[in-house]
Amino acid sequence: MTRVIVEADGGSRGNPGPAGYGAVVWDSGHGRVLAERKESIGVATNNVAEYRGLIAGLAAAAELGASEVDVRMDSKLVVEQMSGRWKVKHTAMIPLAGQARQLVSGFDIVRFQWIPRADNSHADRLANEAMDDAPLIESVRAAESARVARSESAGASPGSTRAAESAAARPRSARAAIDAAQSAADGTRSASGTRSDSGVAGSDSGVVRSDPAAAGSDSAAVVPSDSSPAERAASAIAGATGSGGGAPAASGGPGWSGAVGRPTRLLLLRHGQTELSIQRRYSGRGNPPLTALGREQAARAAEHLAAKGGIAAVVSSPLERAQETATAAARALDVPVRVLDGLIETDFGEWEGLTFSEAAQRDPEVHAAWLGDPSLPPPGGESFDRVRERVEQVRRDLAALYPERNVLVVSHVTPIKTLLQLALGVGPSLLYRLHLDLASLSIAEFYPDGGSSVRLVNETSYL
């Protein structure tokens, strides 16, 4: 697939008020719908909702493998800002515009065009459906938050880490949320959804060519803890899951990172045991199933995650060992599994199925050089630099698809190490020095302002 059309919209009943977005991806002839996205996003302004719709539409286009995108929106502000003709001034919009630009950088070319609202009716309908669903969604979240609060109040001692993180994860009052969002209310849509954007249809378009340098770089901080591994895991996940149903992660960056806002929190689960892992052989694109112990490991990890709850989505590598592990967790969490090709393990080429010693004996010079140079691929295989490129794209897509949510990512050693490397902002030495056990859990967070952190690495206490 090469060219698609993305139409996106967002609205707020109150500006700020209950808000939602909608996005639709059409084929190049505007005759067939390829994907739809909609979501209620709580209290926000019109412009925040519109940017969220744009991000969702671009992420959907990326999933479809598009290289060229025509974005059509009836938001003059978003079109002009994304085309580079207007400056992004409001603090609430700056990280959203950054997310959108990161997604844009993944395409060969993206064109932005303003269209009349009547021509954006499909996306507008999706946004209104999302806003219509908001009262039900909020009532469910409130009930679940109350249940979790009662449970933690009964089980946690005063001043405990879990109680503190649960309190941090609870949403602000509606009035506080509205007051905070008011500073970013530069749109002109009324409570009924009408808007007075000015502009002439047909001439308000812009072309943005991909510029990888515009994506910027992530800063990071590791959060230290003196507690036991089990307590660290519980605390890290509890901070992400103060309420069920994929509730937002706690606001504010940890430690010394200075990150602001609510992160997309990735719970990184390595697959369970296979025959090749028992024999300590390179296992890349080969597709061995889980052993009996591997299935047991997957079941225990699933039980552990289900007890915490609050996970909005489960995504998996396409390989069988990862999908088996992901399916166990998805069943326990009652969410579907989405397969993402970018999470597949490194292609070890001609070293597939060999032990470390066998590969070193077969290609001594190449193997020695490969251990210190991420740009070098194994014979007939894939370099770690190439893995990083596709994993970074997955990270951007997940941040755009699930902002402020908790996502279970089931994958392999190299993609998980790469996500931790991205969160820490460190060099490739991590790939060679970090150990990850089978069915282990790590947690990385990516904030809307570009910040990132690692909360947990190689947790296995539940096995």
Closest to 11 in 3D by CA, of 146, 108, 121: 121
Q: Considering the candidates 50, 144, 165, 345, report the single residue annotated as catalytic.
A: 345
Instruction: For residues 282 and 346, give the distance between their C-alpha atoms in angstroms, rounded to a whole number.
Output: 10
Distances from the Cα of 297 to the Cα of 209, 237, 283, 309, 329, angstroms: 45, 19, 18, 18, 11
Annotated active-site residue 271? The verdict is: yes
- b or e along 13-45 (b: 16 or more beta carbons within 10 Å of the residue's beta carbon)? bbbbbbbbbbbbbbeeeeeeebbbbbbbbbbbb
Q: Considering the candidates 80, 271, 382, 392, report the single residue annotated as catalytic.
A: 271
Four-residue CA torsion sign, 23, 26, 28, 29: negative
Annotated active-site residue 365? The verdict is: no
- b or e along 392-415 (b: 16 or more beta carbons within 10 Å of the residue's beta carbon)? bbbbbbbbbbbbbbbbbbbbbbbb
End-to-end CA distance of the chain: 43
Closest to 6 in 3D by CA, of 73, 65, 52, 76: 73
- b or e along 320-334 (b: 16 or more beta carbons within 10 Å of the residue's beta carbon)? ebbbbbbbbbbebbe
Closest to 80 in 3D by CA, of 54, 37, 112: 112
Active-site annotation, residues: 271, 345
